[in-house]
Amino acid sequence: MRLFRSASTTAALIVAALLPAGATTADEGMWLFNKPPSKQLKNKYGFEPTSAWLEHLQRSCVRFGGGGSASIVSADGLVMTNHHVGHDAIEKLSTKDRNLLATGFHARTRAAELRCPDTEVQILWSIDDVTDRVNAAVKPDMPTADANTARRKQMTLIEAEQEKKTGLKAEIVTLYHGARYHLYTYKRYTDVRLVMAPEEQIAFFGGDTDNFEFPRFNLDVSFFRIYENNRPLTCEHFLPWSRSGAADGELTFVLGHPGRTQRLFTLDHLRFLRDVEVPSILRKLWRYEVILQTFAARSDENARMANGDRRSVENSRKAFSGILAGLHDHVLMKKKADDEARVRAAVDADPEHRRQWGDAWERLSKAHENYRTFYERYAALEGRRRVLRGDLLSIAQTVVRMAAEKSKPNADRLREYTDSELPSRELELYSTAPIYPALEVLRLQAGLSFLAEAFGYDDEFVRKALAGMSPRQRAMQLVGHASRLRDVAVRRELAAGGTAAIAASKDPLIRFVADVLDPEARRLRTRYEDEIESVERDCYAKIAAARFAQFGEDLYPDATFTLRLSFGPVRGCTDPDGRPIEPVTTFAGMYARMQQRGGTYPFNLPPRWTERRSKLDLDTPFNFICTADIIGGNSGSPVVNRAGEVVGLIFDGNIDSLVWDIAYDDRQGRAVAVDSRGIIEALRKIYDADALVNELLAPPPAN
């Protein structure tokens, strides 16, 4: 997998769950920085993280955009992440005549660094447990849906209070699916500039074919710089560079933002994933992949425009195929069933526990049975993978919702439009990133046709959405060349005008969103929140309590796209025929792989990699694998040694790690990283980036 969590411009539905029952074995776990795996590290590796060590690492990490991880690697705000995490920004800085994905980019002076039109980064500054304060909003005997609403309001109020107090961005994270609420406070930066990116062809050598595989040979790295007041950010906390990298067997730590795991969903919840959600997601991905591919094949410019969508779709398709294979694995599902039976038996054996928590599984089952009846519609219009997509459509949705939400008190708003989140919405809304009408039409046409295919052409909503036109005609009308929303000034004007401006607008896309799409999407969202999410929060809180009672509190919560600490040694694995796979690859291996595949796409190399081959030390370590527990969202996570020095950069997991979405298993599953030594060698010998190398290798302050 390329571990990038697809960005979502509106609220991502971040869910959390518990790890399987029993103590964690092996190197499992995506641990909270305020609840680190101290016991595990001490017992297994004799390593005791200090709070200073933890705080320094925490404040050296960066949440990048809507779905990636990164780290600060110099005192001057230099940020390292994957090329594929920076992809969106690099693409938006490209034009027909300046294709930075194809050519790569390197700013040899600070002045040459390119400001990204809508990239936001966040640094986690502090964490507080506010579980009791959040739950205090719930009155006894409140209906489940009302309790959920009350908690949501309370969360917004606490965030607002924290922001007022600190001047920083605050965000309450729901952990263990509702058992814990932690208040995360972030430093937030929106002036982010591109410093260096290699060609996509070397960043993603082997393409979709080698994605989620190992051995790998990818320079999947890019560098940005945080600016504040038009000057590079001065950073007290940043990660020094290791010149020697990590040795085979050496313990490493991965610091990043895993997006979502579903490791302790109940059995029926997993069945819902297996029979409803994942197949539905895959159907959409297969469909859109083919549509994008045929569009891209028509011309080089089409290919360039569709590049980002294609990468994202290919990656998700492989990831979800792996998850589905896990859900189709009888052995794995049997383990899940046994685990659930064990927990339920323990609860049932204690009358008080049974009274408190005993109904949670059954209530969740019923909720998901109900969810089956409207999942497709909800997922199509409001879920994270909704089918009506496109830059202009997102803009219209943001403008329409922002007007409606800003007219309400802060606590009553949709979570992604609270005062705390508005700056992020505005950054997206006023982005000057290029918008391509041909691609916009393709995306919307595909989405509209999907609705007709899925719900029938005579479905009332479909009829309204198409307004007597074919999907193509309607898409041309709404997002074709005529759309005025391409003009940022028009967006600003509409946003400034609020609900009155929306009501008065004659823009067909605004009318479509305001009159047709948004009412239906909101209706479905309310239904989801009231009938599903509220029950999940309530029941998973109970199940978590049952687990804590049975196994103790020493359990990590499922991933929530917030900062986590994983660990594990550099270690090889074996291929399906049992042959050993070495844990480290080299540049020599890359040239061999190219030759083996005849040097044709996606196994071709950028010209300078062919021309400068003889300059490289071909034995330099290039990529490596370790057992640290990661998932989509960890892309761009730094890998550090005990001294906190960068030894690598996570960019992928192997095929056996895909199932980690629902269960960690390190027999074959591995995280894949670029080696710190390979990065330096390439920067020096291929890109002549000596200044950048010097910045990376500069010694940390003496303190």
Judged by the rule CB under 8 A, the positions of this chain that interact with its own copies are 207-209, 271, 274-275, 279, 282-283, 285-287, 289-290, 294, 297-298, 300, 317-318, 324-325, 327-330, 449, 452-454, 456-458, 468-472, 598
Token digits of residue 52: 């200073």
Query: What does the DSSP assignment read for 32-77?
Result: ETTB--HHHHHHHH-----HHHHHHHHHHEEEETTTEEEEE-STT-
Distance of alpha carbon 346 from alpha carbon 351, whole angstroms = 10
What is the Cα Rg of the chain in Å? 25
Query: What does the DSSP assignment read for 380-435?
Result: HHTSTT-S---HHHHHHHHHHHHHHHHTS-GGGS-GGGSTTTHHHHHHHHT-----
Nearer to its own copies, 31 or 603 (CB): 603
Half-sphere exposure of 371 (CA within 13 A, CB side): 26
Nearer to its own copies, 647 or 663 (CB): 663
Distance of alpha carbon 328 from alpha carbon 279, whole angstroms = 11
> For residue 253, which of 556, 2, 629, 560 has the smallest C-alpha distance?
629
Nearer to its own copies, 66 or 215 (CB): 215
Nearer to its own copies, 113 or 289 (CB): 289
What phi and psi, each to the nearest 5 degrees, are found at residue 463? -60, -45
Nearer to its own copies, 383 or 644 (CB): 383
Residue 97 C-beta: closest distance to its own copies, Å: 17
What Cα–Cα distance (Å) separates residue 628 from each residue in 186, 647, 666, 675?
A: 25, 14, 9, 15
Residue 286 C-beta: closest distance to its own copies, Å: 4
What Cα–Cα distance (Å) separates residue 209 from each residue in 214, 533, 597?
A: 11, 37, 11
What phi and psi, each to the nearest 5 degrees, are found at residue 22? 85, 165
Residue 288 C-beta: closest distance to its own copies, Å: 8
Token digits of residue 604: 């071709």
> For residue 60, which of 236, 190, 193, 224 has the smallest C-alpha distance?
236
What Cα–Cα distance (Å) separates residue 458 from each residue in 125, 461, 466, 685?
A: 52, 8, 10, 62
Nearer to its own copies, 376 or 530 (CB): 376
Token digits of residue 371: 């969810």
Nearer to its own copies, 5 or 474 (CB): 474
Distance of alpha carbon 616 from alpha carbon 681, whole angstroms = 7
Q: How many CB atoms are closer than 10 A to CB 561? A: 23
Nearer to its own copies, 213 or 690 (CB): 213
674 three-class SS: strand
Nearer to its own copies, 471 or 633 (CB): 471
Residue 523 C-beta: closest distance to its own copies, Å: 23
Residue 469 C-beta: closest distance to its own copies, Å: 7
For helices 300-327 and 330-349, angle between their N-to-C axes, nearest 10 degrees: 50
Token digits of residue 372: 């089956």
Distance of alpha carbon 448 from alpha carbon 254, whole angstroms = 41
Residue 96 C-beta: closest distance to its own copies, Å: 16
Q: Which amino acid is at 396?
A: A
Half-sphere exposure of 164 (CA within 13 A, CB side): 7
Nearer to its own copies, 468 or 552 (CB): 468
Residue 204 C-beta: closest distance to its own copies, Å: 14
Residue 437 C-beta: closest distance to its own copies, Å: 15
**What separation, in Å, do the N-terminal and C-terminal C-alpha atoms of the chain show?**
39
Token digits of residue 631: 């998932």
Distance of alpha carbon 91 from alpha carbon 95, whole angstroms = 8
Nearer to its own copies, 561 or 603 (CB): 603
The secondary structure element, H or E, covering residue 652 is strand 646-653
Distance of alpha carbon 169 from alpha carbon 419, whole angstroms = 10
Nearer to its own copies, 469 or 549 (CB): 469
Distance of alpha carbon 172 from alpha carbon 155, whole angstroms = 6
Nearer to its own copies, 471 or 653 (CB): 471
